[in-house]
Structure formats: C-alpha cells, structure tokens
Structure 1
C-alpha cells in the first residue's frame, strides 16, 4: 500500500513539472514577441477627399453626387508633408489606377510642319515668247489653237514683211556687186564687201532662222515669207496671231511654255516664316489627285510680304511627268521646318501651363512626383524644347497630369517653387483660379456654362464672357441663368477650363 502511494506521488510530481514548464513557456511568449520586430502598422486615414479634386473633405467615407467614392488620404500623404518635401506623393496602386505614363527628357531634333495653300504656276524660266522684230503680216498659221502641244523646231506660223524682203534684196545686190568688182581696186572691193556684211548682219539681228540665212547666202535669192518655229517643246499657252493680221515690231504672237517642271507657290503665314528656309522638304497634295503625295523642296522664299493676307510666297519646284500638274491648280503644302540641331525636349503633354507658369512633373519613383517650373522654347510636332528646369534623362509625366493634380494636393507642392511660398493649409484645396461673375447660359446636356466674369489676376485675364465645363452635374444646380456666383476653376486640358467650386 505504501509503495502504491509513493508511485502515485511520483507521477503527480512529474505531471506538475510538465504543466509548470508548459505554462511557463506560454507565459514567456509575450516577452519573446516584444523582442522581435513589430508587424507593419496599418496606415491611419486622416480624412476622405472629393475624387474630382473639389475643396470638399469628409471625416467618414461617403460618395459624391456622381456616385464616386471619396478618396482616403493617409497619414504622410497630406498637403503639409507634400509641401515640406516639395513633392507629390501618391500610392503605387493609385498611380496604376490613374494610368500615369512617363517618358524621358531627351535630345532630339524638333520637327515642325508648316501648312499652307498654294497654286501651280509655270516655271518662268521655261516660258518663251515669239515676237518678230520687224513689221509684217501673218501669212499662214501652222498652229492655230491655244493649248496645242508642240515639239522643238515645229513650224508655228509664216509672215510676210516688205521690210524683210527689201533687206534681203539689199544683201543680194551687195553680193552681186562684190562679185562684179572682183577686178576692181582693193578699196572698192572692201567697201562693197562691207555693204554686203552689213545687210546680212541686219537680217541676223532680226532673228531670222539660220537655214533661211544659209539659203540666202548660198543662192542670193530673197524669200517672200519667213517661217517661225517653236524654240522649245511644250504647250501653246497663249496665241494672239490671226491669219492675215498685221503686227508691229516686238508684238507677241505666240507663247510656248515647257511644263515638264512647274512651280508651286505657297502662301506662308507671317508667324510661320521664321521656321521656313530654302532647301526644306515639302509635301504637296493636289485636290485633283488626292491619292498622290508629291515631294519637292523649297527653292526660294520671296523677299516681300503681301499686306492684304499677311503671307509671304514660298516657291517649290516639282517635276511634272505626264503633265498632270496644270497651271492654276490649287495645292495643299506641308513644309518641314524647325531647328536643325538637337535640343532637350519633352512631349508637349508633359507641360502644365497655368497661364503664369509652366510646370512639369518629374517622376522620382515609388509614387513620388516633383513639380518643376520650366522655361520652354521652340515647339515641334508633339514636342517642346525645355531651356531650364529639367535635365536630360529625367522622367516626366506625359499622361494623367490632371488626374495627379486632382488626386494630390499639387498646389501645396508647387507653392514651394515661388519666391515667397505661403504655409500650406491643413485641408487640401483645389489647384485653380477664382473668378466672380454672372451666369449667362447653362447647357445641362453638354455640362457647360457660359459665364460673364470679371478679371482673373492669377491668369492676367481681363473681364470677358466665356464657356466653362463643370466637374460634375451637381454643380449645375448652383449655376442658373442670371445668378451671380463666385467660382473656382482649373485647366484640365489645353484651353479646357473646368469649374470645380461654386459659391453664391
């Protein structure tokens, strides 16, 4: 009996020791956990902000009049933090939802297309006029219609001139006298020979055909008529000769134009003239052939400006195979202009222009965006030169700029760029401009309002009447015709002004 009692006591002691050890381990667990790193703390929500960037906050979750959830602002994302660091902070998830896209600021040659209207004109160097240098009559026409194509050397018309016949006879008599005085003295022969040469020179000065003169010298027989031939191959663009008509010296009878090459004279606006230079490539489209793009180059920029249209003519030379281009046709011209050297440039969508300053958002990584004031220069197709504010290789935001503006308190960060930045307010405010005025008209379907407002000092605008869009349909209830209101607005896109707040 005593042995059983001792065995039971030993088992009890063993169980008690095991239980004490187990409870001791449980009691020791908090001390071990306190020594290990603490788990990630859940971020604290400071308040909820309007999703459209309106100056409206809520301490609890809510929806705006359009049914959109208010955006939570966490600790560390408020305006004070942004202003202190000079950066805009947005969570990575929100950056992805906003569709933020960035591109590198890089060196590039800015291309700029200058568009102008023009007309097809004949090459002035290939226009030839046939006008006899003596008086006479049109005896016969070989080409009797305007627009007829002619080949080089093709007969155009024949003329009869009493003056020409008399000059030929004088030469023939002088030649006969020279032959008759072959046995006379040298002085007499020289005089007669000089008379014949003078008569022949007179005929040459009248631009008689070489074959006509050769026949006269050979045979010594004057011809009654003289045939005029086309000096070039081309088109008869003007014909004034009529069979039997009398003409005077220098009177134009035919005009023949070689249209194998033509000019396109484009009227370039005065403000675009500085970027157009000789040698620039030009694409020409003719209304008659919309599927054909003709390539040429600027060969001359005229030195005069047309005061009526404030344009300067620019000449482009084009080949004209097949004669498709007709003088007088209208043309659409696109000139490639711009700087020939590479400059630091960013996409034009990266620049937020408030009217008083130009801002670029530089991506610093991990949802951080630094607003920089930049100085811009020349503009090209979809790119703008940056003179100051951004370095080569930095990434700039080219898409969702306005959404970043609405998602964050950009105004607080941008205020640090000024010479005298004011302290950022505790609650976020919309980035925009203020104006007071009278509502002229409201288009609820289009979501627009016409406002006759006073001066806007932040944009240096005078008083004017203009159309605004509204950030949401709920604002239209406060914008009734003839109502006097105070509004705050932002520029969502180029020339697109959006009212974000209305007060009476």
Structure 2
C-alpha cells in the first residue's frame, strides 16, 4: 500500500511541470488572441479576417475593428456630431395622414375638340393650313372650296333679290328672297359674304371658309384637289387649356374613391407643383382585358405646359390615424433583418433600437413598437451612425440588439 502511494506521488511530481507549462501556453495564447487585430468589410460585416485584405464579395478594403467590444452604443464628440449633421427630435404622439397612389396619365379633353367639316359638297381648291400642331384662331381662313351647288344657291338668291327690287310690294317675292337667304346662311355664308354677293351681282363658285373654333390642328383629313361630300371632315382642332387626368383603380381601392371627391395630382417632372382635381367620373365596368377601373377628372393647363400622354400620379387621401408615434422616413433604417432607429441615451451617446413600423406616407412612418414618448431619436444622420457602427464593431446593429 505504501509502495503504491509512493509511486503516485512520484508520478504527480514528474508531471506537474509539464501541466504547468501547458497551462501557461494556453493562457498566453488567449491573451495573444485578445490582442490580435481583426479586420472586416464595411459593407459585409460577416467577413472577418485576422489580417488586412479585400472583401471577397465586393472587393472593398477591409478595416480594423475591435471584436471584443460588446458595447452596443456609439459615443461621438461634438465635432463629429456637427460634421455628420446628426440631429435629433423628441418623440411625441400625433396624427398621421396617408395617401393611396394611383398611376395615371394626361389625356386630351374632348370637350375642347372641334371638327371642321365642309358645309357644301365640292373640290378643295386650297388649304391654308396643312400641318398638324399649328395654332388656329377662330375666324382664320382655313380652306377654299369650289362648289357648283353653292353657286346655284347664290344664283337663286340673286334672282330673288332682283324680283324683290322689281316688285317691292309683292309679299310672295319677299318670302322667296328670305328663304333663299336662309339657305345661304345654313351653308355658313356670313352676312358680309351675302352683302358682297349682292354688290357684285355675280355668283362665285369659289368660297373661302374660316375656322369656326380656336385650337391646335391635330389632324388634316383632306388634300388640295380632293372632292369632299357635304359634312365631310376637313381637319380636327384640339384645345389644351384643360386636360383630362385618367387613373387606374383596383377593385379593392374603389371604395376609397367617389365622384366629387377632391384629390391631388402630381405630374411627372413637376413634383413641386401638385394640382387639386375633383373626380368627375368613375367607370362602371372594367377596362377591356384588365381588372382595373378608371377614374377621370380635369385640371387646368396654364400656358400649355403639359402635353397629353404625360405620366401623372393621383393621390387619394386615406383616413388619418390619431395619437400615434411617427418619425420622418429617413430616421428609420431597414434591411433584411428588420428596422431600427438610433436613440440618444446621453449627450453624444447613441444606441440602436429595433422598431416595428405601420402606416407610412411620403414623409413620415408610424412606429407601432419600440419607442415611447419623450425619447430622443436621430432624424438626420442615422445612416452615418449605421456605417460608423459597422466600422467600429464589425457587425450589423440589429445583431447586437
């Protein structure tokens, strides 16, 4: 028994130095690991190396970071805050209005469209306006026509005038003259043209017709020398002082739109000049080949600044929510892991806070969870804090929350 104890003692004494040496080496290795510098990618914090290099994903140079720093907050000096334009606001509750955005476009208003048609059959001798896009004023000469039918009516009227002059007291001849004059008026012969006919005493088969409305020439449907029937279209004029706005509505959104409702229209390229419009029409059926309804309204077009076909967004107001916490959109940082904001805990000390969002419009977003009234939240410079955190910690803020 004593021999066995003696052997154990001898074995322990011989192994003790080796065990002590191994423990010292392990401890030295741990200290070395703690002091060893590590590097990460600013854009891909999952890339961690123990030496400088480039990111295998994006090729950016790796930056050093302290992997043993577990503090989730950032501390910045006054000069850093000023340089990064980091500003905060105290969270409070209030109302938040939202809009539903509908895709639309501008279209020509047919109420401002006029078709110039020939009142008599004949041959187009001259066209004074031949190009589309030309502005035409009411009363401006548009075309000259040769019409044997009109010449016959002129001759008939001259005969009636001669009979009235010869028999001024004959009521029957006066009625004939009045009826012949009425026929010429129905063929767009003005009083001045009829008076000139009387003065010349000779029928003229060549008649110049003026524009009956003002507008821009959208289409010319005849050419010089072409024969045209009575009522045949010569050209089409369009007015652009007002334009239609047509927008598509999904059936699920139709309940939020009503005739007479006031909506906002934003024309592409003129986002800073929104127009107010009243919904005048909602289509009773779907558009052909789609599951979309169409709404329509009219907006003014000062100085013809907009053209039919331009894209426009129609903003339908949605009932606002009250007594909610909301932040500017830029204050919330989102990625695949969720959304977070930066809260100022003390002067110059910022920490990330995971939040949940709700209703949102172009300027603000509702915070449904993660914040309470009275807290100070970063509203500008949040992305700079996000980048600074990755540079210093080598990890995404949401992984440390």
What is the TM-score of this pair, normalised by structure 2? 0.55
Match of 1:192 among 173, 191, 199: 173
2:235 is matched with which residue: 245, 254, 266?
Answer: 254
Counterpart for residue 268 of structure 2: 284
Relative distance call for 1:282 and 1:293 in structure 2 (3 A) is closer
Asked if 1:303 is matched to 2:303, the reply is no
| Residue 4 (structure 2) aligns with | none
Alignment of 1:347 with 2:328, yes or no, is yes
Q: Which stretch has the larger CA shift, 165-174 or 299-308?
A: 299-308
- Aligned residue for 1:431? none
CA distance in 2, matches of 1:272, 1:349: 28
**2:289 matched to 1:318?**
no
Which residue, out of 144, 161, 180, partners 1:158?
144
CA distance in 1, matches of 2:374, 2:229: 76
Structure 2: 5+ residue stretches without partners? 1-33, 39-47, 50-64
- Aligned CA distance change for structure 1 residues 384 and 171 (closer, same or farther; 3 Å): same
TM-score, normalised relative to structure 1: 0.46
Q: Quick one: distance in 2 between partners of 1:102 and 1:296? A: 30
Equivalent position to 1:173, from 151, 159, 167: 159
The CA distance in 2 between the partners of 1:201 and 1:148, in whole Å, is 33
After TM superposition, give the deviation of residue 205 of structure 1 in Å: 2.3
Partner SS state of residue 200, structure 1? helix
d(CA) in 2 for partners of 1:72, 1:320: 63
Q: Quick one: higher RCO (CA 8 Å, sep 6+), 1 or 2?
A: 2
Change (3 A) 1:130 1:294: farther
Aligned match for 1:376, one of 341, 358, 361: 358
Residue 239 of structure 1, CA deviation:
1.8
2:357–2:365 contact (8 Å) kept in structure 1: no
2: CA distance, partners of 1:348 / 1:207: 64
Distance across 2 between alignment mates of 1:152 and 1:294: 35
Q: Matched residues in 2 for 1:299 and 1:214: separation? A: 49
Unaligned ranges ≥5, structure 1: 1-60, 74-89, 286-291, 407-470, 473-489, 493-497
Distance 1:197 1:353, change over 3 A: same
Report the Cα offset of residue 393 of structure 1: 5.7
1:142 corresponds in structure 2 to 128
| Per-residue CA distance 1:345-370 (angstroms, 9 max, x = gap) | 33346779999x9999988889999x
Task: Give, in angstroms, the shift of residue 317 of structure 1.
Answer: 3.9
Instruction: Name the larger-Rg structure.
Output: 1
Shift of 1:252: 0.5
How many residues are paired up?
A: 317
CA distance in 2, matches of 1:129, 1:391: 65
Listed one character per residue, the Cα deviations across residues 138-182 of structure 1 (whole Å, up to 9, x for unaligned) are 233333444455454332211122222222333333333334433
Mapped to 2, the partners of 1:209 and 1:172 lie a distance apart of: 15
Is the contact between residue 120 and residue 149 of structure 2 (CA under 8 Å) also seen in structure 1? Answer: yes
For 1:193-231, what per-residue CA distance to the aligned partner results, in whole angstroms no more than 9, with x for missing partners? 333222222222222234213334666653322211234
1:42-191 aligned within 5 A = 68-70=66-68, 94=73, 96=75, 103-106=89-92, 107=94, 110=97, 114=101, 116=103, 118=105, 121-184=107-170, 189=171, 191=172
1:377-456 aligned at under 5 Å gives the runs 377=359, 379-385=360-366, 395=376, 399=382
Pair 1:236 & 2:214 matched: no
Structure-2 change in CA distance of 1:105 and 1:193 (3 Å): farther
Question: How far apart in 1 are the matches of 2:112 and 2:177?
Answer: 36
Q: Give the Cα separation in 2 of the matches to 1:236 and 1:246.
A: 21
Tell me the CA shift for residue 118 of structure 1.
Answer: 3.9
Contact 2:282 2:293 in 1 (8 A): no
